[in-house]
Amino acid sequence: MELRILGVSKTYANGVQALKDVTLTIPAGMYGLLGPNGAGKSTLMRILATLQDADSGSVTFGEIDVLTRKNEVRETLGYLPQEFGVYPKVSAESLLDHFAVLKGITERRARREVVEALLRKTNLWDVRKQRLGGYSGGMRQRFGVAVALLGNPTLMIVDEPTAGLDPAERVRFLNLLSELGENSVVLLSTHIVEDVSEACTRMAIIDKGEILLEAEPLRAVEDLHGRIWRRVISTDALPALEREHAVISTKLLAGRTVVHVYGDSSPGVDFEPVKPDLEDVYFSTMARHVGSRRATGERTRIDES
Amino acid sequence: MKLREIFRFEFLYQVQRVRTWLYFAILFVVAWRLVITSGGDPGSGHALATSPYDIAIDTVICNLLWVLLASAVAGSAASRDVQTLMDPLVYTTPISNADYVAGRFLAAFALNALILLMVPAGMLLAVLLQGAEPGTLGPFRPASYLSAYFIQALPTAFAVSAIQFSLAALNRRAVMSYVGSVFLVIFVSIIGGVVINLLQRPTLGRLLDPIGYITVIGVLSKTWTPIEKNTLLIGLQGWMLANRILWIGIGLAVLALTHRRFRHVR
């Protein structure tokens, strides 16, 4: 099973072009779609989840045309939206049971087993009789996870799933997805670099509706080796430094600013080389030093990623 | 199977709401009090409190009250997924549009049919308790109640529920079913009144009226003799049957349109 996205574009009625000619091939396993808020991630996820139509392009999952044969996709789809609500005046158990029937698990005993297993997996078993209206944000998110996992989907689309989870819940959830990813295509969108570095074997970086980089996280980090330089400065020295060097990211550390700079060779004696991580890949890509659509001009560096 | 589950879940969800039981109670009490207080006019010798004509009038009044009171039943069945933001979860399950629309609508219609069953129930309670003035109750004729429920109330419930459901579903907002109900009552009574009184086309006017209140109250009260009011069943009048067939047809057409236009997208 493979999800193939070919030249998908989408422009909203208000003129915003959310997706520009997006092409991706997503094999079985965990695949991370990384990008800032407003990059077009959710639009792409909704198109893949059959909730929105693309203006052009094609999407196929195995033999199924995702854009036209929506109900066939839905037979095998798990979707966790970025934002969703639930009926407030019903218990988690009875609503999950309802969804199980809608997903085609019609045999009563099988359904009861599936519902119980998922409530236990998502740690909602003890609160299964409570009304969903009284659930916290994290509990509701876990309920969404349980709905998405119903029926062991072979295509799993999860949109910013870790945003509302606490650290323990987040690890638990990523483990659940990894388990599913052994046999299914799991596409996870996120703006959190750690989600991708911890869980995904392949990734793409998207910004302003365009795919900037498609890579394996470990390879991408390796490719950056020797090109990331670090310097600690006072915050007011930053503007001057930004004019002279290809600053990709800044971070505060004990009141001073840690600057990461991209460069094939050392930008100066004040800089020390650092071992790159996926965050450096992300910011180098966002600054257009790495990836398929690199910036042109004097700051352009040669690389072969 | 999925249709049955959608119906079951929707029906149970609404039947467990306090709001629903308020509708039951209000219609029951109103119907009961109408029989006791409006009990005919013995002086002029017509219209006993349980004459077919009076039962028909009380039913019309209660149906009118139901249209405005309980529009949320069909409205929330049609739009709760969108309004609670649960639509992305529901719309990505493999259910057909027909199962979805039919399951939700039939649940709302079934509930409305039960709510309207409170009207004959309330009237029968009044008869049983003999709470009305002695002498104002006529003989007990089951046909009056059956006609009032099956010919007057149920087709109205079907047509009006379909309109309320479709307005809420296609606009994705429950409040549209209420706006539509108010509009329906006002618009139809004005049009009906104009057609009957100004254009002198009573038959056409009777056809246009989905609830029957202009025709029953406005026309029959003037044209029927006391004996007719005490004995004739409204449901068996030819124009009434034509009206019912027309409005069931309108209800079906509106549902077909909703099935065509409703999309499981955001």
Kindly list the strands in the beta sheet with A77-80, ordered across the sheet, starting from the edge strand earlier in the chain.
A77-80, A155-159, A185-190, A29-34, A202-207, A210-215
Please report the sign of the dihedral spanned by the C-alpha atoms of residue B128, residue B154, residue B101, residue B174. negative
Identify whether residues A113 and A134 lie together within a single domain. Answer: yes
Structure tokens at B157: 């419930």
Distance from CA of B95 to the nearest CA of A (A): 6
Looking up tokens 């999925």, which residue turns up?
Answer: B2
3-state secondary structure of A152: coil
Count the domains in chain A: 2
| Residue in chain B lying closest to A50 (CA) | B92
Identify whether residues A180 and A229 lie together within a single domain. Answer: no
Nearest CA to B10 out of B181, B161, B175 is that of B161
Identify whether residues A101 and A234 lie together within a single domain. Answer: no
Nearest CA to A263 out of A278, A247, A242 is that of A247
Identify whether residues A166 and A59 lie together within a single domain. Answer: yes
Alpha-carbon distance of A101 to A106, in angstroms, equals 5
pLDDT for the residue A68: 94
Is A296 an 8 Å CB contact of chain B?
A: no
Residue range A58-70: average pLDDT? 95
Nearest CA to A281 out of A200, A209, A193 is that of A193
Is A151 an 8 Å CB contact of chain B?
A: no
Identify whether residues A63 and A180 lie together within a single domain. Answer: yes
pLDDT for the residue B69: 94
Which residues of chain B neighbour A153 with C-beta distances below 8 Å? none
Which range is least confidently modeled, A51-60, A289-298, B193-202?
A: A289-298
pLDDT for the residue B193: 76
Nearest CA to A27 out of A231, A193, A182 is that of A182
Specify whether the CB–CB gap between A90 and A132 falls below 8 A.
Answer: yes
**CATH number reported for the structural domain that contains residue A210 in this entry:** 3.40.50.300
- pLDDT at residue A142 above 60? yes
Structure tokens at A305: 């990623």
Identify whether residues A107 and A239 lie together within a single domain. Answer: no
Q: Do B88 and A106 touch (CB under 8 A)?
A: no
Q: Do A87 and B5 touch (CB under 8 A)?
A: no
Alpha-carbon distance of A153 to B95, in angstroms, equals 16
Least CB–CB distance from A86: residue in B86, B94, B266: B86
Identify whether residues A8 and A108 lie together within a single domain. Answer: yes
Looking up tokens 């067939």, which residue turns up?
Answer: B245
Q: Which of A198, A215, A232 is at the close of a domain?
A: A215
**Most confident option among A23-32, A245-254, B119-128:** A23-32
Mean pLDDT in chain A?
91
pLDDT for the residue A35: 94
pLDDT for the residue B175: 93
| Domain region containing A271 | 221-286
Question: What ipTM was estimated for this complex?
Answer: 0.89
Residue range A263-280: average pLDDT? 91
Largest Cα–Cα distance of chain A, in whole Å?
71
Which range is least confidently modeled, A102-111, A135-144, A250-259, B40-49?
A: B40-49
Nearest CA to A149 out of A195, A106, A103, A109 is that of A103
3-state secondary structure of B224: coil
Identify whether residues A112 and A165 lie together within a single domain. Answer: yes
- pLDDT at residue A268 above 50? yes
The pLDDT tens digits of the residues spanning B189-215 come to: 787 778 777 887 777 777 888 887 777
Residue range A129-134: average pLDDT? 96
Least CB–CB distance from B84: residue in A53, A85, A147: A85
Identify whether residues A157 and A245 lie together within a single domain. Answer: no
Identify whether residues A48 and A116 lie together within a single domain. Answer: yes
Q: With a CB-CB cutoff of 8 Å, which residues 252-271 of chain A face chain B? A: none
Distance from CA of B91 to the nearest CA of A (A): 7
Q: Where are the domains of chain B?
A: 2-261
Q: What is the mean pLDDT of each run of 10 residues along chain B (266 residues)?
A: 95 96 96 76 53 85 94 96 96 95 98 97 83 61 88 94 97 94 86 78 79 72 76 74 92 96 82
Q: Give the ranges where chain B is alpha helix by DSSP (H).
A: 2-15, 18-37, 52-69, 71-83, 87-91, 97-129, 142-146, 154-171, 175-193, 202-208, 213, 221-223, 226-231, 238-261
pLDDT for the residue B265: 77
Q: Do A101 and B5 touch (CB under 8 A)?
A: yes
Identify whether residues A99 and A246 lie together within a single domain. Answer: no
| Residue in chain B lying closest to A80 (CA) | B89
Identify whether residues A201 and A98 lie together within a single domain. Answer: yes
Nearest CA to A195 out of A57, A83, A30, A76 is that of A30
Residue A299: partners with Cβ closer than 8 Å, 6 or more residues away? A246, A289
Which range is least confidently modeled, A205-214, A223-232, B32-41, B162-171?
A: B32-41
| Residue in chain B lying closest to A86 (CA) | B86
The pLDDT tens digits of the residues spanning A152-200 come to: 999 999 999 887 788 888 998 999 999 999 999 999 999 999 999 999 9
